């Protein structure tokens, strides 16, 4: 493309010129969400951590709202 480093061109403009899309960030986002779903389905310990549940006795006193 022979774009000079002095030209003020955004990454999106360069991607449009070469007819490409941002695929790396989309893949990272997709895989991260798939992994979270996998963990929540299969691992009870991590599921309790994500949902902020604690096992054991209830706390003393009036329940918090």
Give me the domain span that covers residue 39. Answer: 21-55
- Residue-wise pLDDT for 29-65, tens only, equals 889 888 887 777 776 766 677 666 666 667 677 876 7
Any domain includes 51:
yes
State how many domains the chain has.
Answer: 1
> pLDDT band at 21, cuts 50/70/90?
confident
Any domain includes 40:
yes
Q: Return the higher-pLDDT residue of 63 and 9.
A: 9
Any domain includes 60:
no
pLDDT (0 to 100) of residue 19? 85
Any domain includes 33:
yes
Please report the DSSP string for 1-65 in residue order: ----TTS---HHHHHHHTT----HHHHHHHHHHHHHHHHHHH-HHHHHHHTT---SPPPSSSPP-
């Amino acid at each position: 493309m022979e774009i000079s480093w002095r030209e003020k061109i955004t990454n999106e403009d360069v991607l449009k010129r070469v007819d490409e899309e941002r695929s790396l960030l989309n893949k990272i986002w997709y895989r991260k969400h798939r992994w979270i779903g996998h963990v929540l389905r299969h691992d009870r310990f991590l599921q309790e951590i994500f949902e902020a549940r604690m096992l054991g006795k209830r706390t003393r006193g009036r329940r918090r709202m």
